[in-house]
A and B are shown apart, each in its own frame.
Chain A
Amino acid sequence: MRAIINQNRIPLALPELRNLGTVLRILLAVNAVVLIAALVGETRWSTVSDAWVQATAIVEPQLLLALLILYAAAPWLEELPYGVGAATILAVTLGVSLAFNTAMAAMFSEVTTGVLLRRLFLALLITASLLYYFALRTKALSPAIAEARLQALQARIRPHFLFNSINAVLSLMRSEPRRAESALEDMADLFRVLMRDNRQLAPLLDEVALCRQYLDLEKLRLGDRLRIEWHIDNMPRDALVPPLVLQPLLENAVYHGIEPSSAPGVIAINIFLRRGEVHAILRNPYQSGGRHHGGNKMALANIRERLALHFDAEASLESKVNRESYEVHIRMPYRTGTESEAVRA
């Protein structure tokens, strides 16, 4: 396990400046610093809020302007080596701070050189701290990725499914060798995906194909009890998604929704694009007196974690129980192209 973690050491990378999570973290951190400064600088409660408002009026325009410039420059910045990129970001913040404060001085003439220098120094200090924080975060998360991958590998396919499927294939060997062959091929494909390095995003179409193979195997043993409804005519086939984002959910749906009942049940899969976001909704019958849901929670937590590693706050996974059905809803940003999606924070 240690060896694998070491192999996956991730080089330093700039924060993803177009990511909502990154932007939120920066906004929060800077405003927290301003608030702390106000709390420390003032001795009386009544003046704290005044001082804070004043400081915010100065800091906020600079902050937003700097973020805007960095947002625009993000694709270009990402091409640069880490050191050059970080220096550029520092230069941008300094430049913004300098321009803003010079303009203020020209308009209100209340900014002395001493104050200007202090503000520039502060801007530099905060930016450097934030860059350091994001670098630490990348480092802190990278072993987690390797570990999550391992953990996922164990959690994803239930041994229950593996042995039941092997048993089902064995039952076909003598009577229907051709079906046995195709079932084994499906299993091979499924396990190939399960065992490879799954940290790169993959096309949605591949994930759907994998889900079909998985469901074919389950149909083999469950027969008519398992019914599938695909609503994917409007899905963005080229969208890049974390591999195995849907298959474990289908496995849960079969295990908790179909197997515990002798009556046929429907699993409905709905994937579509809406306002630049990919939505996937999975629904299966809810068996109230069913098995304990520990395994289900683990799979959900696992997928949620991987979504967060790839998309931060831009993706979400929600599950809910309606009267007779259980529903999982995944929301992801619509990304395409061949961009290599090494995890950044």
Chain B
Amino acid sequence: MPDAPLKVLIVDDEAPARHRLREVLDDCNSAVPLLVVGEAASGQEALTLLSTTLADLVLTDIHMPDMDGIELARHLLKLPTPPVLIFTTAYHEHAIAAFEVHAIDYLVKPVRVQRLLAALDKVPRLRPLSDAKLNRLPSSARRFLSVTERSRVVLVPIDEVVYLKAELKYITIRTADREYLLEESLTKLEEEFGPRFVRIHRNCLVARSAIRGFERRVSADGDAHWEVLLRGVPEALAVSRRQQFIVREIGRDAST
């Protein structure tokens, strides 16, 4: 479809920056037919918008409160047809060095028409950034986990996660309200979130803040093991023999 205008979504936490980008996009319109399908002031807002609106290109600021541009890029990959993404930034920070190394496109604000045009020209040939590539960018731990449900991206704030349990192909995310299925690796999650979670079993990470206490259980065949009691969810989780040391390590703090 050579004639269909390029659908663009603008993401920036600063209103003037969004406004300016829209003006420059307007200037490009005669050379590259495009349509701004929306503006979002945050990553969350962008994802909500994209659940109902299609976009070919997302222009996102790197530094934003709550969810930065790099985290947004990761969540966008969970969409059925991920848009192409170009980062914008007001200043060459250290992070930008990594962008250069991995040949990831970015625009420096204030954005010039010529520079934007060049970037827009490339869009049809660009593919969404791969997860592997994004992983190489310097970024802090995500604030949200994201899962795809009925072709929409649902965000689960990491603060609400009670435990993560690996089951066959998926990881179950348990919050106080419900469960979600996530397609990621438990080891990678453990690395990313570090001390927030504690491994109680080969297949299970529990949020340290959700641990209410430990209880010793004797099963029918006489084997005794420890179980973790959790805040907000009724089920208790078994601590494997190998991870038993954590009972002593945090058991006392939790029970007091």
Chain A interface (Cβ < 8 Å from any Cβ of B): 158-160, 163-164, 166-168, 170-172, 174-175, 220-223, 259-262, 289
- Are A259 and B17 within 8 A (Cβ)? no
- Which of the candidate stretches B8-16, B125-133, B173-181, B243-251 sits at the interface with the other chain? B8-16
Q: Which of B224-251 contact A (CB under 8 A)?
A: none
Secondary structure at the B interface, as helix, strand, loop or mixed, is loop
Identity of the chain B residue whose Cβ is nearest the Cβ of A259 in the assembled complex: B65
Separation of A110 and B102 alpha carbons in the complex (Å): 87
A208 to chain B, nearest CB (A): 25
Q: Which of B16, B17, B90, B140 is A160 in contact with, Cβ under 8 Å?
A: B90
Instruction: Provide the residues of chain A in CB contact with B93, threshold 8 Å.
Output: 160
B12 to chain A, nearest CB (A): 10
Q: Is B182 in contact with chain A by the CB < 8 A criterion?
A: no
Q: Is B110 in contact with chain A by the CB < 8 A criterion?
A: yes
- Are A163 and B110 within 8 A (Cβ)? yes
Q: Which of B80-124 contact A (CB under 8 A)?
A: 90-91, 93, 108-110
Interface residues on B, range: 20 to 34
Separation of A261 and B42 alpha carbons in the complex (Å): 11
Q: Which of B14-44 contact A (CB under 8 A)?
A: 14-17, 19-20, 23, 41-42
- Are A167 and B15 within 8 A (Cβ)? no
B88 to chain A, nearest CB (A): 10
Separation of A166 and B14 alpha carbons in the complex (Å): 13
- Are A223 and B15 within 8 A (Cβ)? yes
- Are B16 and A172 within 8 A (Cβ)? yes
- Are A262 and B109 within 8 A (Cβ)? no
Separation of A259 and B12 alpha carbons in the complex (Å): 12
Q: What are 23 A-B pairs with beta-carbon distances under 8 A?
A: A158-B91, A163-B90, A163-B109, A164-B17, A164-B91, A164-B109, A167-B20, A167-B109, A168-B14, A168-B17, A170-B110, A171-B17, A171-B23, A172-B16, A221-B15, A221-B16, A223-B14, A223-B15, A259-B63, A261-B65, A261-B66, A262-B13, A289-B140
Separation of A172 and B20 alpha carbons in the complex (Å): 8
- Are B20 and A170 within 8 A (Cβ)? yes
Instruction: Provide the residues of chain A in CB contact with B19, threshold 8 Å.
Output: 171, 175
Q: Given contact pairs A164-B14, A171-B20, A221-B14, enumerate 15 new A-B contacts (beta carbons under 8 Å).
A: A158-B91, A160-B93, A164-B109, A167-B20, A167-B90, A167-B110, A168-B17, A170-B20, A171-B23, A221-B16, A223-B15, A259-B65, A260-B65, A262-B13, A262-B41
Identity of the chain B residue whose Cβ is nearest the Cβ of A168 in the assembled complex: B16
- Are A160 and B65 within 8 A (Cβ)? no
- Are A167 and B42 within 8 A (Cβ)? no
A59 to chain B, nearest CB (A): 57
A191 to chain B, nearest CB (A): 17
B208 to chain A, nearest CB (A): 16
A43 to chain B, nearest CB (A): 60
A13 to chain B, nearest CB (A): 42
Identity of the chain A residue whose Cβ is nearest the Cβ of B23 in the assembled complex: A174
Most-contacted residue by chain A among B16, B66, B110 (CB, 10 A) = B16
B139 to chain A, nearest CB (A): 13
Instruction: Provide the residues of chain B in CB contact with A221, threshold 8 Å.
Output: 14-17
Identity of the chain A residue whose Cβ is nearest the Cβ of B17 in the assembled complex: A167
Given known contacts A163-B109, A164-B109, A168-B14, A262 and B90 CB-to-CB distance under 8 angstroms: no
